[in-house]
Amino acid sequence: MVSSRKEVDALSYQIVGAAIEVHKHLGPGLLESVYQRCMAIELGIIGLDFKQEMEIPIEYKGNKIEGLFRCDFLVEDLIVVEIKAVSETLPIHDAQVLNYMNLLKIPKGILMNFNVTNLFYNGQKTFVNKYFDGLI
């Protein structure tokens, strides 16, 4: 398990690099599912461990509610990655990533929108939470 902020930040750099590689080959305008499948291939190529379409359990008043939420990727059990292909991301997309991070107790999340001309400058948003603050 990665135990430092520096290592988590380095991991997020690799993830963003993988997304840029996908975007460089495909460009904007495709379906989210296409980017998601290509992102899985790219994460595998660079050797990162990830879970795709991972179900996020929810507990409500002692009752487990299953099957409602799935994050696109959980990389190295440290970073939630949510893929979009929309004209613009909205606050609800930010909330989605933050909720996934908190439910999974994950320190960092990245929201990627592939429907942009430049993924590096305007297609990604990074989030941290209290679990990141707990890292060394």
Q: Mind listing the pLDDT tens digit for each residue in 98-125?
A: 999 999 999 999 999 999 999 999 999 9
**Identity of the amino acid at 62:** G
In the prediction, which pLDDT does 3 show?
67
**Identity of the amino acid at 35:** Y
pLDDT in tens, 68-94: 789 999 999 999 999 999 999 999 999
Q: What is the pTM of this model?
A: 0.94
- Range of the structural domain that residue 96 is part of: 5-133
pLDDT in tens, 51-60: 999 989 888 8
Separation of alpha carbons 34 and 50, rounded Å:
17
**Identity of the amino acid at 56:** I
Q: How many CB atoms lie within 10 A of CB 128?
A: 18
Tally of domains within the chain:
1
Separation of alpha carbons 40 and 133, rounded Å:
28
3-state secondary structure of 88: coil
